[in-house]
Structure 1
Amino acid sequence: MQARFPSLKLRLGLIAYSLLWWVSLPAILIYLWRRGRRDPDYRAHLAERFGIYGAATKGAVWVHAVSLGEMRSATPLIRALLDRGETVITTHFTPAGRREAIREFAPEIAAGRVRALWVPFEYGFAYRRFLRAFAPKYGLVMEIEIWPRMIISCRANGTPLFMCNAQYPQKSYEKDAGGLRAELLRGFAGGFVKSEDQRARFAATGMPNLHVTGELRFDQPIPQAHLSAAATLRDVLRRGRPAITLTSVVAGEDALYIDMIRACPGVFFIYVPRAPERFDAVATMLADAGIKFARRSDMLDADLRLTGPAPDIDVLLGDSMGEMYFYLGLCDRAIVGGGFVTKGAHNIIEPLALKKPVIVGPHIWTIAYPAVEAIAAGVCTHVQTADALQQVVQRPPAITDAQISRFYTDHAGGVARTLAAIEKATGA
């Protein structure tokens, strides 16, 4: 028999969690104010974070995409939902996610078919207001975002809430086993998960109504304007050299990559930090290392055109958000950041979408699917050390476009599978 949800232990945990949010409210507001000095969007529309809105949009599909990566995962699915005549509300916690929704769906927002909002803070009253204002048909939480008050409020309101494009990395699964976080997963109405391994992990927590739907990022749209801009600049910047893009580089990896750049003088690099707050720090590190580089913001305009003569550089520092396909369009292959720190590597799908072979470091537990399959297919090289990375950069393995195309085709179709699963799970 299914255990009662929520258990007494979880109810007590939620009381402590709620108290923590109330006690922390001044600190949260100060954090938003300070972040707003550099990014005014943190301070904008603050009422939404407390469930206060203007006109409501009732009966829409609700998609929660906390930040930029989750929003990109959601984009092809939202397009498909719109094609079916749905109205969509998106919620976000970071400005990057909200801006991506506004950029991608500007015409639909103008037509009233999409609305981008801040997700409510974790207060019961804020979620009651949100659910009363919008009465969503159902909610889709992208990836593995676990917001206790969101889950409990939707369950109490009778709003079906599903995890979508969901994954449960092995380390997180082992850490959560038997704990309150794992129990919260039983509060979802179900999950649309990336692989059979993921399904088994979610099932072990007691999450109901599970469907294997694959990875939505294989279906995400590619901005052709970014590829055109890259094609125009590729020869100008590379000057006949092979080129490698370092994507989503995180703190703790910079010294390793900078040493690699200095050891490979015949290679052009495009260096893209994971977070905008790291742009200045990485620029300082490159300058201190004596590397000839230029910042994208200094040499290119908003349309990715040169603002002056092409500089003589060995590294282009990608100090912008939302232009990864441009940076990948410049290269022959990509190194995906995060793999040389224990927090784990980031998305390998964007390079593969452009038929760029991928290199990852030792820690791939965060992207086990599809990294394990990509390594087995020979389109992703898994290196364990800095020396091995340098050898692969200097003597890259032969990987054909046909290999990558076969792999990509084999794993595409997540949108169609997710739509079918939604229909089955909700009857919608």
Structure 2
Amino acid sequence: MALFVYTSLCYLALPFGMVLHLLFIWRRPEFRAGFFQRYGWLPKKQHHPVLIHAASVGELNAIAPLINAIISHLKLPVLVTTTSVTGQARCQQLFAANDRVSWAFLPFDLGLANKLMLWRVKPRAVLLVETELWPNLIASCARKKIPTILVNGRLSERSAKGYARWPWLVAPMLQKITALLVQDQATAQRFLSLGAASNTVSVLGSLKYDLVMPDSYLDVTTMVAGGLCFVCGSTRSGEEASLLQAWSQLPARIEGTLVLVPRHPQRFEEVADLCQQSGLPWLRYTQVSKPSNAQIPSFIDSQQHSRRVLLVDAMGVLFDFYRRADVVFVGGSLADKGGHNPLEPATLGKPVLMGPNCFNFTQVCDQLEQVQALKVTTSAHLLKDMTALLIDPLLRESMGAAGAQLVNQQKGALARNLLFIEAVFEQALKE
């Protein structure tokens, strides 16, 4: 009954949703690709693949080692679905050379769209990453006896309170999931309190600690040469203004480049306006990335100011700037977005600075903070905390080393998840 009500509401909203969808893609051309995939018409490129849904870039980066392990160890093809355009672009970047991996957009959670997708793709299993819980998709898989597994599951206290408002829908949905493989005991307890069956919940640790950084990378040294490099990754609305203000007010002896990497490409122009208004010398990545660009020397050797700003208006190069960074600020944390993944810079041995809104990575941030690899700041204390890190090379070195050591100690969730998934697949074949 609960699912019927939910599905009926979805269909009642469908005409209005389609109009809004068309208006949205009219205003945002980058979202036009995969229009029919959003309604279930996915490509049939693989034979009975494992369907893995990772909403966006962060989830995809976390799950990439598991995707590679499923291909190499279990010898199974994989179809990766995403929700965001940036996630799709990252998927292509990671797996374009691997013919065992295909990708598409996940359909909206409509019964007919899910049925069409499952009929076309015929997945042998569906893996949902972190908090991607869709009632109709899970119910459709259960009816077809397709194993559905939540991998690298996480559930913040805030999200759990939201789900708790809909117990008539959430509890039956959780009970249809084959297994919930979660990151920590707190997440496990929250799923149990929402109605998940105790025999389906397993604490296997976070796959994010098994992050594999790509071997080959872009050399960005010439773009940030001279002085310190302060990289602000995955920044969100409101954060760039605070960072630019603090950067301009640092003590005169601190010289270098502030690198701003917005989370979403549609904000590049907005952030460019902020850079222009700051009064600091600045350039776009797409300007300085051209080998023959004559602006690079004048940008690096600028006499206007000892500190410069580089706006990275391109996707897929964040890790390359993390490698060059002396200090990393991880965005989405001054803004009330829950923060993005601090393990990416910590893996590279970089000291990490974040705002107070880290609820997407509560356990990870707590662990990094406990070993003094991460400093939590606020808008009011941003200038002070930036200064403390940028003037003290020994502090930066000790924080970076502590973070890298923690990541190495916490590795192993990948192997545990793979063993569990393999066992589920074998059981499904026997039934």
Per-residue deviation at 1:178?
4.4
Q: Is residue 2:1 matched to residue 1:16?
A: no
Aligned twin of 1:369: 363
- Of stretches 42-51 and 343-352 in structure 1, the one that deviates more from structure 2 is 42-51
Which residue in the other structure is 1:182 paired with?
170
Of residues 32, 36, 52, the one that matches 1:47 is: 36
Q: State how 1:6-405 maps to structure 2 within 5 Å.
A: 8-36=1-29, 39=30, 42-53=31-42, 55=44, 57-84=46-73, 85-109=75-99, 113-180=100-167, 182-183=170-171, 184-208=173-197, 209-226=200-217, 229-230=219-220, 232-233=221-222, 237-239=224-226, 241-264=227-250, 265=252, 266-267=254-255, 268-301=257-290, 305=291, 307-308=293-294, 309-310=296-297, 311-312=299-300, 314-383=308-377, 385-396=378-389, 398=395, 399-400=397-398, 401-405=400-404
Q: Under a length normalisation based on structure 2, what TM-score does the superposition of the two structures give?
A: 0.88
Query: Aligned partners of 1:365, 1:94: CA distance in 2, in Å?
Result: 21
Partner of 2:305: none
Equivalent residue letter for 2:66: L
Cα 1:363–1:50, aligned 2, differ >3 Å: closer, same or farther? closer
Letter in 1 for 2:103: A
The letter for the 2-side match of 1:217 is K
The Cα shift of 1:125 comes to 1.9
Residue 334 (structure 1) shift? 0.7
Partner SS, residue 47 of structure 2: coil
Q: Any idea what the Cα deviations from partners look like across 1:300-346, whole Å, max 9, x if unmatched?
A: 04xxx563343236111111111111121221111111222233221
DSSP-derived class of the 2:367 partner: helix
Q: CA deviation at 1:242?
A: 2.2
SS in structure 1 at match of 2:293: coil
Deviation at 1:414, TM superposition (A): 2.1
The whole-number CA distance in structure 1 between the counterparts of 2:402 and 2:42 is: 49
Aligned residue pairs total: 405
Deviation digits for residues 200-239 of structure 1 (CA, Å, limit 9, x no counterpart): 111211223112222222223322332x513x43xx6231
Question: Does the CA contact (< 8 Å) of 2:338 and 2:357 recur in 1?
Answer: yes
Q: Distance in 2 between matches of 1:306 and 1:167?
A: 46
The residue number in structure 2 matching 1:408 is 407
User: For the residues of structure 2 that align with 1:252 and 1:56, how far apart are their CA atoms?
Assistant: 42
2:329 is paired with a residue whose SS is strand
State how far apart, in whole Å, the 2-side matches of 1:175 and 1:55 are.
36
CA distance in 2, matches of 1:35, 1:348: 30
Stretches of structure 1 lacking an aligned partner (at least 5 in a row): 1-7
Question: Secondary structure of the residue that 1:247 maps to in structure 2?
Answer: strand
Between 25-34 and 57-66, the greater mean CA deviation after superposition: 25-34
**Residues 3 and 135 in structure 2, CA contact (< 8 A), matched pair in contact too:** no
> SS where residue 59 of structure 1 aligns?
coil
Pairwise CA distance, 1:55: 4.0
1:402 Cα offset (Å): 3.6
Output the aligned Cα RMSD.
2.1
Cα deviation, 1:118-154, whole Å, max 9, x if unaligned, reads: 2123322221121122221211111212223212211
Measured in 2, the distance between the counterparts of 1:282 and 1:229 equals 24
The alignment-based identity, stated in percent, is: 25
| SS of residue in 1 equivalent to 2:188 | helix
SS at match of 1:272: strand
Deviation per CA, 1:262-317, whole angstroms, max 9, x where unpaired? Answer: 1125242111111111111111111112111111011104xxx5633432361111
2:375 is aligned with what amino acid? T
Provide the C-alpha distance between the structure 1 equivalents of 2:140 and 2:292, rounded to a whole number of angstroms: 50
Equivalent-residue separation in structure 2 for 1:54 and 1:417 (angstroms): 31
In 2, Cα distance between equivalents of 1:23 and 1:386: 39
Residue 98 of structure 2 aligns to a residue whose secondary structure is helix
Amino acid at match of 1:372: D
Aligned AA (1:76): P
How far apart are 1:379 and its partner, in Å?
0.6
Question: Is the 1:56–1:133 contact (alpha carbons within 8 Å) kept by the matching residues of 2?
Answer: no
Cα displacement (A) at 1:261: 1.0
In the alignment, the residues of structure 1 paired with residue 16 and residue 422 of structure 2 have an alpha-carbon distance, to the nearest angstrom, of 41
How far 1:351 sits from its partner (Å)? 0.6
Distance (whole Å) between structure 2 residues aligned to residue 343 and residue 99 of structure 1: 22
Instruction: Name the aligned partner's letter for residue 43 of structure 1.
Output: R
Distance 1:9 1:132, change over 3 A: closer
For 2:240 and 2:121, locate their aligned partners in 1 and report how far apart those are by CA, in whole Å: 44
Q: Which moved more, 1:127-136 or 1:25-34?
A: 25-34
CA–CA distance in structure 1, aligned partners of residues 358 and 292 of structure 2 = 36
Q: Name stretches of at least 5 consecutive residues in structure 2 with no aligned partner.
A: 303-307
Cα distance, 1:50–1:386 mapped onto 2, change above 3 Å: closer
